[in-house]
Amino acid sequence: MLHQFYPQVPHPYRFELNKDMHIAAAHFIPARSAGKCANIHGHTYVINLTIAGDDLDNTGFLVNFKTLKDVVHKRFDHTLLNEDDQFGSEEEDSADTFPTTEVVARTIWQMVQSELDKKQNKPRCVQVLVRETPTSYVVYRPKEGDFR
């Protein structure tokens, strides 16, 4: 596992947890303007989740690292992202659902936060980093209004 430094997200919480994972997945961007990325190709995505909160659960966790891995890695590892319900695979689909790095990062935030919303200690996912290639990554940071 690659150990890297990530962009810091300012937040007011006492605890901050980070979970890294690698996901081997294929995708394509179904738009002529995507150039070579319109062809199916694969990446080893590097994902970093940042979770923050003031309170721990009754195990002493902000959230179990395994829960985070289950939500993201189990769902997407060794898949074609375009075949997942979360993403579009046709040029006529909304560009907002194409599995670009930006949309993948936002989608992962939505999935992780909806899992965290089930917890009584109410942790928040304050940053999702998705690295698609050694030279390209996106950081997604939710706004206050994005939380329930």
- Contacts with ligand LPXRUNBV by CB under 6 A lie at 29, 37, 100-102, 132-133, 135-136
C-alpha 78/C-alpha 85 separation (Å) is: 15
Tokens representing residue 8 in the block = 């810091």
Closest CB 47 distance from ligand LPXRUNBV, rounded Å: 14
Q: Which residue has the tokens 């980093």?
A: 129
CB of 134 to ligand LPXRUNBV, least distance (A): 7
Catalytic residue flag (residue 125): no
Could you tell me the smallest distance in angstroms from the CB atom of residue 48 to ligand LPXRUNBV?
Answer: 17
Is 78 considered catalytic here?
yes
Q: How far apart are CA 59 and CA 123, in angstroms?
A: 14
Residue in this structure with the two tokens 């002493």, named with its chain if needed: 60
Question: Is the Cβ of residue 45 or residue 52 nearer to ligand LPXRUNBV in the bound state?
Answer: 45
Q: Is 27 annotated as a binding residue?
A: yes
Backbone angles phi, psi at 48, to 5 degrees: -125, 125
Q: Tell me whether residue 37 is one of the annotated catalytic residues.
A: yes
Question: 43 a known binding residue?
Answer: yes
Token pair listed for 16:
């901050």
Name which of 4 and 136 has its Cβ closer to ligand LPXRUNBV.
136
Which residues, 6+ apart, have CB-to-CB distance to 12 below 8 Å? Answer: none
Phi-psi region of 86 (alpha: psi -120 to 50; beta: other; left: phi over 0): alpha
Catalytic, out of 11, 16, 22, 37: 37
Residue 22 labelled as part of a binding site: no
Residues labelled catalytic: 37, 78, 132
| Known binding-site positions for Zn(2+) | 27, 41, 43
